[in-house]
Structure 1
Amino acid sequence: MFAAGAVLGLMLLSGCAGEEGSARGGSEDPSGEWGDSSDTTAPSLELDDDGSFSGTDGCNQLSGSWSIDEADHVQFEDVASTRMACEDVDTWLMDLSQATIADDTMTVLGTDGSEIGTLQRESD
């Protein structure tokens, strides 16, 4: 019950934050494509405006949801992925937990908060 209240509270806060220029509504809006989606062997993510995301680590497919926390970090939640054995592919993106964004660089952090990799915003 408490968890449901906390989720509702976060949803309300994230809705308000967008109006005040947070990462979601401001110049650091994380929605869009990150990495090179035209290269099927490279890691990439697509963050949709509805709070869902999809992507690949260069072999496995990833999906889930994302939100912005009070520190303007992107939080990845409900992450699901395929688990194929991939020869010669660095599957670092499978360990994503959160990310920070500065300009056109997304720094992806693992569950322990350490940097595991970066993705560049894909040009329009």
Structure 2
Amino acid sequence: MLWFAPEGRFNGNDGCNSLSGTWTGSGKKFELQEMTMTLIGCLGMDTWLSGAAFVTVDGETLRVSDKNGVEIGTLPRLNVAH
């Protein structure tokens, strides 16, 4: 999961490790920057989210791409009101 705050910060979790950083962009494409991530070794966990560099909103799906623009995975888009 990834959570984006309006002030340009994001947090996330891949089910084992936590990540955070900053984001820039507008519209439907965002660049993830200054990402830090814990490195807990969880048996059987897929850590693809650690390679995230860009996120594109595609309807109700977040398409996650690496630094080369290659899609590495998708996440469901959740709208959370505070």
TM-score calculated relative to the size of structure 1 = 0.60
Cα deviation code 1:69-96 (max 9, x no counterpart):
6x85210000001011111111100110
Among residues 36, 43, 46, which one is paired with 1:87 in the alignment? Answer: 43
Alpha carbons of structure 1 residues 123 and 77: separation in structure 2 relative to 1, 3 Å = closer
Q: 2:11 aligns with which of 33, 54, 58?
A: 54
1:28-39 residue pairs with structure 2 within 5 A?
none
How many pairs are equivalent? 80
CA shift, 1:103, in A, is 1.1
Q: How much has 1:67 moved relative to structure 2?
A: 1.0
CA contact (8 A) 2:28 2:58 kept: no
Kindly report structure 1 stretches of 4+ aligned residues shifted beyond 2 Å. Answer: none
Amino acid at match of 1:47: F
Richer in strand (by share): 2
Code of the residue aligned with 1:56 in structure 2: it is N
Which residue of structure 2 lines up, in the alignment, with residue 39 of structure 1?
A: none
State the 1:121 CA deviation. Answer: 1.2
1:81-115 alpha-carbon deviations (Å, 9 max, x no partner):
10111111111001100011111111000122100
Residue 52 (structure 2) pairs with residue 96 (structure 1): yes
> Structure 1, residues 23-53: CA drift from partner, whole Å, max 9, x if none?
xxxxxxxxxxxxxxxxxxxxx0100111100
Give the unaligned 5+ runs of structure 1. Answer: 1-43
Identity of paired residues, percent? 35
> Cα RMSD (Å) of the superposition?
1.6
2:64 alignment partner AA: V
Cα offset, 1:123, TM superposition: 4.9
| Structure 2: runs of 5 or more not aligned | none
Q: Is residue 60 of structure 2 the alignment partner of residue 112 of structure 1?
A: no
Give the TM-score of the pair, scaled to structure 2.
Answer: 0.88
- Higher helix proportion, which one? 1
